[in-house]
Structure 1
Amino acid sequence: MKIYGLPPIPYPSFQKIYQVEDIANIPANTIPYFKDTRDCDLLIGGFAYSNQVSYAFIPNSIKSFLIYSNLGAKYALLEGDPTPYQNLAKEYLLDIEIFKIIQNPSEIERYALLGIDGVVFESIL
């Protein structure tokens, strides 16, 4: 299990984006991420995939999860229950990592026991 946001464990930087043009302003070694809430967010995923940019997203449904998985997303950041997403990633051998967004280190064990790929602290998003 990967743990992002708990010092002294090293982790990548994340930066929230809102449109395709924001990707150009992302520093190297920073993972752009967005919350899938609008149809135009598909443009971000398509652009990132075409330009081999590693990115993360917060899905709003299983459908959007599967779409962005096919658009090469590196991480799915889950606010709710990550279990169905982890099960789909395993079932279909998807090249995406499932991360549960957490606030407290006490949550790490719970998601480790569920077999979730990783956790990311909300404070670094």
Structure 2
Amino acid sequence: MIIIGHPDIPYEPFYYVETIEEIAQTPSGATLWLGPYRQTVELARHCHQNGLPYGVMAESLTDALLANALGARYILASEPLASKVQKAAETYLFDAKVLVPVTDESDMEAVAQVGVDGIIFPQAIAQH
């Protein structure tokens, strides 16, 4: 299971960006956090065209399918959507990893039991 943002486990933060200009201000090779897919399609296209690693929040299975097609490294989805996205990821061999946002480590077991790739804690996303 991928665990990002837990205080006991070292991790590279995601950098929250809202514009192409902000992308230029992030460290080289940093994973970008774009926010909800539907609201950030243009940024996702830019990242895809420039080979930049990024994550988005899927609010539907369609969002997840499109984000994967645009090269997202991480697709975040809340339960129970994450289970559906994970099944699609396994069926269609997504390159993206499916993560469930959690606020407490007690949520880890429930996510692990449904077989989702991983979890992400809020502190993993660096605000600008």
TM-score when normalising by structure 1: 0.90
Structure 1: gaps (5+ residues): none
User: How many residue pairs are counted as aligned between the two chains?
Assistant: 123
Aligned position for 1:71: 70
The one-letter code of the counterpart of 1:46 is R
On the 8 A contact 1:13/1:29 being kept in 2, the answer is no
For residues 2-54 of structure 1, what are the alpha-carbon distances to aligned partners after superposition, in whole Å with 9 as ceiling and x for unaligned?
A: 1111123121211111122221111134311122242xx22111111111101
Aligned position for 1:12: 12
Structure 2: gaps (5+ residues): none
For residues 60-98 of structure 1, what are the alpha-carbon distances to aligned partners after superposition, in whole Å with 9 as ceiling and x for unaligned?
A: 222221111001100011234210110110111111100
On the 8 A contact 1:69/1:96 being kept in 2, the answer is yes
- The 2-side partners of 1:79 and 1:111 are apart by 10
Larger RCO: Structure 1 or Structure 2 (Cα < 8 Å, ≥ 6 residues apart)?
2
TM-score when normalising by structure 2: 0.88
- Which consecutive aligned stretches of 4+ in structure 1 deviate over 4 angstroms post-superposition? none
On the 8 A contact 2:58/2:77 being kept in 1, the answer is yes
- The 2-side partners of 1:43 and 1:5 are apart by 27
Query: Alignment partner of 1:25: what SS?
Result: coil
Root-mean-square deviation (Å): 1.4
- The 1-side partners of 2:18 and 2:78 are apart by 18
Query: Alignment partner of 2:6: what SS?
Result: coil
1:1-125 matched pairs, under 5 angstroms: 1-35=1-35, 36-38=37-39, 41-81=40-80, 82-125=82-125
Aligned identity (percent) is 27
